[in-house]
Chain A
Amino acid sequence: MTQEVRSRQFNETAQKALADTSLQKALSRFEQGFISRRKAAVEKLPEYDALRDSARDLKDHILAHLDLYLEAYEKNVIASGGHVHWAATAEEANEIIYGICKRLNAKTVAKGKSMISEETGLNAYLEARGLHPVETDLGEYIIQLRGETPSHLISPALHVTKEQVEADFRRAHSALPPERNLDEPTSLLAEARGMLREKFLNVDVGITGANFLIAETGSSVIVTNEGNGDLTQTLAKAHIVISSIEKVVPTREDATLFLRLLARSASGSELSAYTTFSTGARRHDDPDGPREYHVVLLDNGRSNILGGKFQEMLRCIRCSACMNHCPVFHAVGGHAYGWVYPGPIGAVLTPALAGIEKTAKLPNASTFCGRCEEVCPVRIPLPKLMRNWREREFERHLQPAVARYGLALWAAFAKRPALYRAATSLAMKFLRLFGGKGRFRALPLAGGWTKHRDFPSPQGQTFQALWKKRSGAR
């Protein structure tokens, strides 16, 4: 049971998103904040670009020796009293986690933010077996109440307005006095904290994701801005970490390199408010901590990406900078992309994990403006990788017939310069005949253009024809 891939419907969901006034309001609020905060943070760090180079090179090194680092990591998790479970597929990961919960007779499961658990559809899997996972990240808590999926990696409830949150809280927290004031974001936060605090105290199993796994110590690292990750894992009987395999880094020092880049790229902070290193279960003299510590290492298609044309995508540290700077994401939000990962990373990673047949629309939904690559902290060439997918689609005839034949027709002319010159001359003269006002408000075969904008009419003769005349006249 993995999260269903709905990327085929990109055009329809994007259309709905454009017409959704409350979503558009939420998106316009979000757009500037992330961009200006990241810019300010980067400007304060002169070595930022050098750090990006180091991070890119280190990731490439890790990916080239992933097996060795994963084995070292496993050895050190075990040495520190933890357990490692290898899961090839999402189903296997879910089964393993459910198995642990069942053995511990767990009733309440608390969750820290984890996109990998979105990938596996963990919540639905556990709910179907009678467990009640509670999301503890504020954004995740909100969308869990709404029965939705995250629309952004670090701001999962980005698409929800404050007014909607208030309505959701009044509905879900029906035991609280109805006349209470929830006008301010702080009062919403306080209410969510109060509700969650109670759940933390009774939690049996805490599940978190991992931003990094450290091979030399067997530690997992998570960053949060609310501290919910700490409570999730410290107060539970067992802490289960679910992570994909490419999150491993060699040393603690390497982790700090990525942490410096991650927080700045994500939210413009120098570091996230809470960075938590977890190593093994509670020891004899520890005052608190989980009695069991498990790591579920998920592949779910990643080893197929290794060594291929899309390997650079596995450098991703999930900072969200690419989508924060993407004009298409700004226009339609995250849900339109139809799976766990929205924006430019989704346009590359979703086809790699879910197959290009179901997701062919995504790599095409980009203007290739290149801003994503410009801000990526690990220098993933996102437009190039999207273009690689377009090449796969072209090879397999997955593009719409109109686009394919249009391109073929144009190419047939462009490959024959004399024919091209004659045909374009004729076409422009013809267009000019009808474009005397300087622009067209409607034009056959160009409905996509003229639906929203005028088409400037051509001057009439082509440059090559006019140039030839000028040269002849000299």
Chain B
Amino acid sequence: MPDPIRAAAGRPIRVGLFATCLVNLIRPRVGFATAKLLEDAGCTVEVPQQTCCGQPAFNSGDRRTARELAARAIETFEEYDYVVLPSGSCAGQVIVHYPELFEGDAAWEPRAKALAAKTFELTVFLSDVLKVIPIARFDGAVTYHDSCSGLRELGIHAQPRKLLGNVEGLRFVEMKDPDVCCGFGGTFCVKYPDISNKIVEKKTANIAASGATTLLAGDLGCLMNMAGKLSREGKEVRVRHIAEVLAGMGEEPAIGEPER
């Protein structure tokens, strides 16, 4: 595993930004916020031509497609010192499941493991690898939802709270059951829309009861699910990816708000 200090001694750390499908398609500003945070910390950020990490195929039982997409991602990103994703679930796919997908494959398993070892979810990378605290200001009461894959596959819980704790003007309030699923579940929410709805209803009730005016999380899928439900219910909570607030982009339109 590359040592950031040593890498930084000779030249800036080169980070490959794996933006994820949803950020690429729906909310590019999360990609820019991520890039800004990494650049502010002294990294060089590159965005190579990329598609999907393969998680939807993997979770739908299409292992062959999952392996093909994983191999492509390995080829694309293995040249960087680090790979950073603004998503716990896509990062979990690379870190936990790529080595699993190539288990016993003499050619690919070592490459999958090598990539997994230098791949990080954004808040973990900032907090635990670079050990930086972004300087930002955000006024208001904020609550944070722990997305399941990030929480349970990668153990992300303290890092986002630590980073948010340093944002000036931000008042953090914990909702009830922040670690309980929001009902998104990738294709689950369209395969079982009514069960998913029942689950997200409980989540939005907890969000509203927390008194927070802004909801943050580290995964755009969950954020879109919760934002969509809050907006349908007419609950006045603005929803953003944590990177936006940390990068000082908290004044831009929230998820589901018209572009100005």
Contacts and interface: CB of A to CB of B under 8 A. Distances in A.
B196 to A, nearest CB: 7
A365 B19 CA distance: 28
Given A18-B198, A438-B257, A459-B28, A421 B49 contact: yes
A118 B42 CA distance: 63
A455 B224 contact: yes
B52 A387 contact: no
Interface string A369-397: 11101100000000000010111111100
Contact of A463 (B24, B181, B227, B255): B24
Contact of B191 (A421, A441, A448): A448
Contact of A331 (B31, B35, B195, B253): B195
A394 B61 contact: yes
A327 B52 contact: no
Contacts of B181: 327, 367, 369, 371
A15 interface: yes
A188 interface: no
Nearest to A455: B228
Contacts of A387: 58-59, 61
B72 A453 contact: no
B157 interface: no
A393 B57 CA distance: 13
Contacts of B52: 410, 414
- For chain A, which range describes its interface: under 10, 10 to 19, 20 to 34, or 35 or more residues? 35 or more
A407 B225 contact: no
Given A331-B199, A452-B200, A463 B61 contact: no
B39 to A, nearest CB: 12
A400 B19 CA distance: 30
Interface stretch (B62-70, B119-127, B208-216): B62-70
Nearest to A389: B61
A259 B134 CA distance: 49
B26 A456 contact: yes
A369 B69 contact: no
A399 B253 CA distance: 39
A449 interface: yes
A369 B195 contact: no
A415 B75 CA distance: 13
Given A327-B199, A420-B51, A458 B26 contact: yes
Contacts of B251: none
A370 B60 contact: no
Nearest to A439: B256
B111 interface: no
Contacts of A367: 148, 181, 183-186, 188, 196, 199
The A contact surface, by secondary structure, is: helix
A454 interface: yes
Contacts of A370: 148-149, 151-153
Interface in B185-236: 185-200, 224-225, 227-229, 231-232
Nearest to B49: A417
Interface in A413-451: 413-418, 420-421, 424, 427-428, 436-439, 441, 446-449, 451
Interface string B155-171: 00000000000000000
Contact of B195 (A14, A390, A438): A14
Interface string A313-345: 000000000000001101110000000000000
B193 A437 contact: no
A48 interface: no
Contacts of A331: 195, 198-199
Contact of A417 (B23, B51, B227): B51
Contact of A393 (B54, B61, B193, B232): B61
A446 B225 CA distance: 13
Interface in B242-258: 253, 255-258
13 contacts: A15-B194, A365-B192, A367-B184, A415-B68, A418-B49, A452-B194, A452-B229, A453-B200, A454-B228, A458-B27, A460-B259, A464-B49, A467-B35
Interface of B: 19, 23-32, 35, 47, 49-52, 54, 56-63, 65, 68-69, 72, 148-149, 151-153, 180-181, 183-200, 224-225, 227-229, 231-232, 253, 255-259
Given A367-B188, A410-B52, 13 more contacts: A364-B188, A367-B181, A369-B148, A394-B62, A420-B51, A438-B257, A451-B197, A453-B200, A454-B256, A464-B19, A466-B32, A467-B31, A467-B35
Which 7 interchain pairs have the tightest Cβ spacing? A367-B185, A453-B228, A390-B61, A394-B61, A463-B28, A369-B181, A448-B193
